[in-house]
A and B are shown apart, each in its own frame.
Chain A
């Protein structure tokens, strides 16, 4: 046993896969300790907040300030409100409105803004200008108004009784606060999803659920496949015929179609994570069964098996002590692959809206399902689905890598 383990850990492929998988498992257990709370809590009102650090604006105004005179601050501010395209568009507006732009230098901000303020009129409808374009100019105009706003903004509070505005504080262009000193700062490394949930938190929890579903599905599939394969291969005869018949039946019907049909007919109310795992397990045992059967057939006429038979050992004992140990390494590898495909199957099912019931647990498939329903892939909200895909890929990659590593150790034809 010790020797086998040493051999296994000598395989670089296995080790890499193992490390990735353990890293994911550790994250699953450690991250909730750092960031506790319900992963399905809708913290954001609104959809798809970008990844980043969010600073409470309210608290920031009450945080002690430092004054910095940064040379490029004004330029940056201007550039963020008035891009080069905006300048060109301003000239286009002048032209469309029939205003003479002779001698205007668009890089001369003051001259450009003066001319804009003197001439722009939101109610003018130049011929051929679309409503979308007119709306653009309205937005540009209000951005320009902000650029030219006073150096100091005054924060006021409304007196509840008199309705008068009472000055609470002032913010100038040179005021800076230290993010570390602001009372409320929230870092969302992967932003929020369509429900305003913290994607990272949800992802960690979902990876856990998905791995559990995968393990359960893999266990069910391997157990069924192993039992039937052992019986079929060793007992042979009529029992073999029946089991092979059933196995072929299941092999011919595409597993995923069967999965969809069963999930659909169970109905959403009964579909908990465990039930989905069970259904996946029940539809994916056939290949394990066939492989185990063929290996058992080659084993059953070996001398040591015949000796056991002659010694009068029971069927169960022969299978468990004389046959199972010889195929154990294969079974473990098959199990790893079953776990991996179980995770993928859950993701596929959920993507079709046939996954576990939605309000209770997050799963990787459900996260992708909602991201797709909210067209995250077309509106550029990559953080809602890409990390999920990456996680699924990493999990099944690590499991497959471990499987290949084991194969190299146990398969005589591949052994170095």
Chain B
């Protein structure tokens, strides 16, 4: 009898397992858009006001716009032209005269998944709870936003003011519009109540009952796959928004072990949209003849928005006291090799886009005076120049061992990035090779990620000399945010520093200029401020960028779906993986490949 029971139980388990598998494989291919390169590991939670959700398809503040598949922001950012486009809110946001308050209205049609309208009170509650429990929204914006008040659908954001009565940073207030997912006030109340108001418990609530406003919601998620399903009652089919539903019924993301696995799935046509760096991506169509394409047909294939940068550690006297050494290493590095090797030419060269504080987009490039800083810029591989700089600064090789000394000690530095980050490792190898040419010992070091992240965010560390991290890519507050990350002293000494200035560089002149920019609206003045900052940066060299890089990669396989955005289609939809910021507009235009 017992045996029979066991057998029956085993059978039931097996059937259940088959059922689960069947569910996974049963997604109709021509109704499902498959992704790769966004979700790593299984989902932690669906709690939009929590932290550490590890839920990239639903909750992800992308570097170039928030991912609005399930939760929506007030506005969508389009990094192609800097547009701020209404989503939950109407296109009517306006500053008052002294930029201390910003007012906008919520769309009448905007609804939550439970059918109730989205109101100003939801925006207020989202911000307030964030400040109260210290989630990303709260810590990110409480320094710039004093309060948010609502009257029905009209919302006013009061900027935080400094001692002179000026707003601290109006640009960051705009970031709030495009970067903060709005949660339902009623749902927040429910969560607060069941967690007894305890901040930590609220942050870690699984949020399975969350209320959303976006076009998709969770179908299921396990350690193999995350699937979102279209909400056919989505409010956005109203004429005041998209006027229709997004085309794919399912959004699916298989959880791959690593980049090569995702790349192989893309090649096999199992993935439609791939957010992964693929070396020599052009070979996929030139040599393999696969129906794969990128946003642009030619190199750099995508839109480069950020610049992975090597930061000098100012806790080390040899680096802090020798601007000549900092500049010499920076001008000796062979950037063409980095770009050709590490990025396989998916980046413009520093000869095409001379180095500054700006990313290569036209909008940012227009923000500084190119002629004024031309003498300070460098394209790299200038060994003679670097050696001359070091000789002039008195950093000489006096004991004949082939390496220069400072204060009688051999200059020996390490170049560090996390292990397994292939393109960064290759860059560090090239930096180390440059050291050899100028008599500075540079050795590479690739610690595991968990070690790396604790060391480089520690403001007092002296273990790493040259180490890599990327500054911000694109948002309404850029390039200011990025420039502030390069030189702003507000991050110096901050424990567990993920915000900026990882080298602990201090320059009062730069700080003063940085303070002026957010409240400057005159374009000429803005340009002269940025030009001054560029001059300081290129003279002092507190860090140096190694390449330009897209913040999102966007390779699509058109075996099933087509009409993805491209650079020349005139739609101006950014290559943001069909998910981020205004990039989500792509989902409404997708078509099935015929035949």
Contacts and interface: CB of A to CB of B under 8 A. Distances in A.
Contacts of B556: 131
A interface bracket (residues with beta carbon within 8 Å of B) = 20 to 34
Interface stretch (A13-21, A132-140, A314-322): A132-140
A122 to B, nearest CB: 9
Contact of A378 (B263, B293, B442, B562): B263
A80 to B, nearest CB: 14
Given A46-B340, A136-B285, A353 B420 contact: yes
Contacts of A128: 562, 591, 593-595
Contact of A195 (B341, B420, B591, B595): B341
Interface in B525-570: 556, 558, 562-564, 566
A357 B416 CA distance: 12
Going nearest first, the 6 A-B pairs with the smallest beta carbon separation are: A128-B594, A130-B558, A132-B291, A46-B340, A132-B293, A45-B340
Given A139-B286, A269-B443, 16 more contacts: A42-B341, A45-B337, A45-B340, A128-B562, A131-B293, A131-B562, A131-B564, A132-B558, A133-B291, A196-B337, A353-B446, A358-B446, A375-B279, A378-B260, A378-B264, A379-B283
A269 B563 CA distance: 50
A266 interface: no
B562 A130 contact: yes
Interface in B203-236: none
B126 interface: no
Interface stretch (B64-72, B426-434, B478-486): B426-434
A359 B442 CA distance: 9
A132 B286 CA distance: 10
B344 interface: yes
Interface string B334-348: 101100110011000
A204 to B, nearest CB: 20
A130 B272 CA distance: 13
A99 interface: no
Interface string A39-54: 0101001111000000
A6 interface: no
A133 B564 CA distance: 13
B344 A47 contact: yes
Contacts of B283: 379
Interface in A375-397: 375, 378-380
13 contacts: A47-B340, A47-B344, A48-B280, A128-B562, A131-B556, A131-B562, A133-B558, A269-B414, A269-B443, A269-B445, A358-B429, A359-B432, A378-B263
A287 interface: no
B398 interface: no
Contacts of B344: 46-47
Nearest to B286: A139
A268 interface: yes
Nearest to A131: B293
Interface in A346-379: 353, 357-360, 373-375, 378-379
B279 A130 contact: no
Q: Which of B340, B341, B558 has the most CB of A within 10 A?
A: B341
B443 A353 contact: no
B273 to A, nearest CB: 13
Nearest to B431: A359
A375 B260 contact: yes
B444 A359 contact: yes
A196 B433 CA distance: 13
Contacts of B264: 378
B444 A132 contact: no
Interface in A133-161: 133, 135-136, 138-139
Which secondary structure characterizes the binding site on chain B?
A: mixed
Contacts of B341: 42, 45-47, 194-196
B102 interface: no
A374 B562 contact: no
Q: Which of A45, A131, A194, A357 has the most CB of B within 10 A?
A: A131
A127 interface: yes
Contacts of A353: 419-420, 446
Contacts of B345: 46
Nearest to A46: B340
B interface bracket (residues with beta carbon within 8 Å of A) = 35 or more
Contacts of B442: 359
A359 B444 CA distance: 7
Given A135-B285, A373-B425, A375-B260, A42 B430 contact: yes
Contacts of A375: 260, 263, 279
A231 B293 CA distance: 69
Contacts of A45: 336-337, 340-341
Nearest to B435: A359
A268 B444 CA distance: 9
Nearest to B433: A42
B336 A374 contact: no
B30 interface: no
B447 to A, nearest CB: 7
Contacts of B420: 353, 373
A358 B287 CA distance: 32
B293 A357 contact: no
A269 B432 CA distance: 14
B391 interface: no
Interface string B315-359: 000000000000000000010110011001100000000000000
A195 B558 contact: no
Contacts of B591: 128
B260 A359 contact: no
A353 B421 CA distance: 12
Contacts of A373: 420, 422, 425
A133 to B, nearest CB: 7
B292 interface: yes
A188 B280 CA distance: 21
B279 A379 contact: yes
Contacts of B279: 47, 374-375, 379
Given A45-B337, A353-B420, A373-B425, A131 B566 contact: yes
Nearest to A357: B443
Interface in A163-198: 194-196
B443 to A, nearest CB: 6
B292 A132 contact: yes
A362 to B, nearest CB: 12
A127 B591 CA distance: 10
B280 A379 contact: yes
Contacts of A132: 285, 290-293, 558
A374 B422 contact: yes
Contacts of A47: 279-280, 340-341, 344
A133 B297 CA distance: 11
Contact of B433 (A46, A139, A359, A379): A359
Nearest to A268: B445
B547 to A, nearest CB: 13
Contacts of B419: 353
A357 B285 CA distance: 37
A128 B594 CA distance: 5
A373 B277 CA distance: 13
Interface string A230-271: 000000000000000000000000000000000000001100
B562 to A, nearest CB: 5
Contacts of A130: 291, 293, 558, 562, 593
Nearest to A193: B341
Contacts of B291: 130, 132-133
Contacts of A357: 443-444
Nearest to A42: B337
Contacts of A48: 280
B452 to A, nearest CB: 12
Nearest to A127: B594
Nearest to B259: A375
Contacts of B292: 132
A142 to B, nearest CB: 11
A131 B558 contact: yes
Contacts of B337: 42, 45, 195-196
Nearest to A359: B432
